[in-house]
Amino acid sequence: MTLAQSEPVNRTILLFDIEDFSRRDDVAQTCLRRQLHDVVEDTLAGAGVERNLQYREDRGDGLIILVSPDIPKTALLRALLTVAPDALHQYNRLASSSAQMRLRTVLAAGEVAFDLKLGTVGGLVGKDLNQSCRLIDADVLRDALAQRDTDCVLGVSTSVYDGVVSHGHRGLRREEFHRVAVNVKKERLDLWLHGPLPHGADVPAPECASAENSGAGVHSEAVGRVSAVPSGEAGVTFNSGANLSFGGSQVFGNQTGVSGGHVTGDVVLGSARRGCGDGQP
């Protein structure tokens, strides 16, 4: 019997995955799974997430947890950065070498629907969830954990970074999160990794800031669309309505606000800005 499919609802998506789980024997895997649930219990309790505000789905070597949007993501992030590492450290200091546990974690958000079937477990549906699962499987997250001495590593989605981390809330330092590109199953996504970047990480090029127009006599749409030409060739052209050209000579110096007629001497139009990647401030 099929239960009615629900409409998608917005949820915070929290994923955990155990490193090198498949390399352990059955006894070790059982121990790791039990300890994972203990770590998750401590982390969610630290963020104030009660049982009625969460949904968990067991994935063997990991967990998918959906959290009510009533729980602030700031609280979840602080718990992931403090409570989870501490719980792992306390466990690993007493565990045998075969039962040591290290975790990859991802915090994201998006629309998720429930397509539950009677007699089966699970049934989550949603593109946002699919992309979150691809983030936790990303090589850059695996490499970051492998190259660190810590017991866990955290990545967040772009929506969580833009909406929460970037604003510098208490306990969250935006400069500690670094944007990396993730290529999984023919899809390119962005992940914001907490802590040092691993060797070989695919770091997207920085976006150029829009040039400022502080000079008179030049239309604002012309700024940022100036074509540089070699000396002695056709002049510089601003493509904004009627074209304004300067032929031959270099344009520099300290005069401003020149428009119309014959231009001679040294001219500055707007603020001097340099492009991305030119090595200049």
pLDDT at 151 over 90: yes
User: 21 and 118, same structural domain?
Assistant: yes
Region 213-233: mean pLDDT is: 40
Q: How many residues does the chain have?
A: 281
Tokens of 205: 């090029």
Nearest residue to 61 (alpha-carbon basis) of 143, 126, 136:
136
User: 223 and 158, same structural domain?
Assistant: no
For residue 203, being part of any structural domain is answered with: no
- Residues 142-164: b if buried by 16+ CB within 10 A, e if exposed: bbbbeeeeebbbbbbbbebbeeb
Q: How far apart (Å, rounded) are the C-alpha atoms in residues 67 and 51?
A: 10
Residue 120's pLDDT is what? 79
Is the model more confident about 125 or about 233? Answer: 125
Read off the pLDDT band of 265 (50, 70, 90): low
Q: How far apart (Å, rounded) are the C-alpha atoms in residues 223 and 205?
A: 22
User: 219 and 133, same structural domain?
Assistant: no
User: 247 and 136, same structural domain?
Assistant: no
For residue 222, being part of any structural domain is answered with: yes
User: 188 and 213, same structural domain?
Assistant: no
For residue 64, being part of any structural domain is answered with: yes
Q: Please report, for residues 132, 153, 204, 264, 267, the alpha-carbon distance to residue 137 in angstroms, rounded to integers and kept in the order given.
A: 9, 12, 19, 61, 55
Read off the pLDDT band of 206 (50, 70, 90): confident
Is the model more confident about 244 or about 51? Answer: 51
User: 261 and 184, same structural domain?
Assistant: no
Is the model more confident about 213 or about 15? Answer: 15
Residue 98's pLDDT is what? 86
Give residue-wise pLDDT tens across range 160-201: 999 999 999 999 999 999 999 998 878 899 999 999 999 988
For residue 181, being part of any structural domain is answered with: yes
Give the chain's domain count: 2
For residue 54, being part of any structural domain is answered with: yes
Q: How far apart (Å, rounded) are the C-alpha atoms in residues 239 and 165?
A: 39
For residue 281, being part of any structural domain is answered with: no
User: 217 and 185, same structural domain?
Assistant: no
Of 144, 160, 194, which marks where a domain is finished? 194
Residue 116's pLDDT is what? 79
Q: How does the average pLDDT of the chain come out, rounded? A: 80
User: 184 and 119, same structural domain?
Assistant: yes
Is the model more confident about 109 or about 4? Answer: 109
Of 134, 161, 194, which marks where a domain is finished? 194
**Can you say how many angstroms the Cα of residue 55 is from the centroid of all Cα atoms in its chain?**
24
Of 161, 194, 227, which marks where a domain is finished? 194
User: 33 and 123, same structural domain?
Assistant: yes
Tokens of 32: 């790791």
Please work out, in degrees rounded to the nearest 5, the angle formed at the alpha carbon of residue 48 by the alpha carbons of 43 and 53. 100
pLDDT at 134 over 90: yes
Give residue-wise pLDDT tens across range 243-252: 444 444 444 4
Of 120-124, 132-136, 160-164, 244-248, minimum mean pLDDT range: 244-248
User: 221 and 83, same structural domain?
Assistant: no
User: 115 and 77, same structural domain?
Assistant: yes
pLDDT at 105 over 80: yes
Q: How far apart (Å, rounded) are the C-alpha atoms in residues 206 and 274?
A: 13
> Given phi > 0 = left and psi -120 to 50 = alpha, else beta, which region is 261?
left
Which residues lie across from 16 on neighbouring strands? 63, 105
Domain that holds residue 227: 208-270
For residue 155, being part of any structural domain is answered with: yes
Read off the pLDDT band of 207 (50, 70, 90): low
Beta strand pairing call for 187-194 and 177-184: antiparallel
Is the model more confident about 83 or about 117? Answer: 83
Provide the CATH number for the domain around residue 183. 3.30.70.1230
pTM assigned to the model:
0.72
Tokens of 176: 């500690």
Tokens of 159: 């929506």
User: 166 and 58, same structural domain?
Assistant: yes
User: For the residues of 107-145, what is the DSSP string, one character each?
Assistant: EEEEEEEE--BTTS---EE-HHHHHHHHHHT-HHHHHHH
Of 23-37, 156-170, 203-217, minimum mean pLDDT range: 203-217
- Tell me the backbone φ, ψ of residue 118, rounded to 5 degrees: -65, 130
For residue 1, being part of any structural domain is answered with: no
Q: How far apart (Å, rounded) are the C-alpha atoms in residues 110 and 91?
A: 32
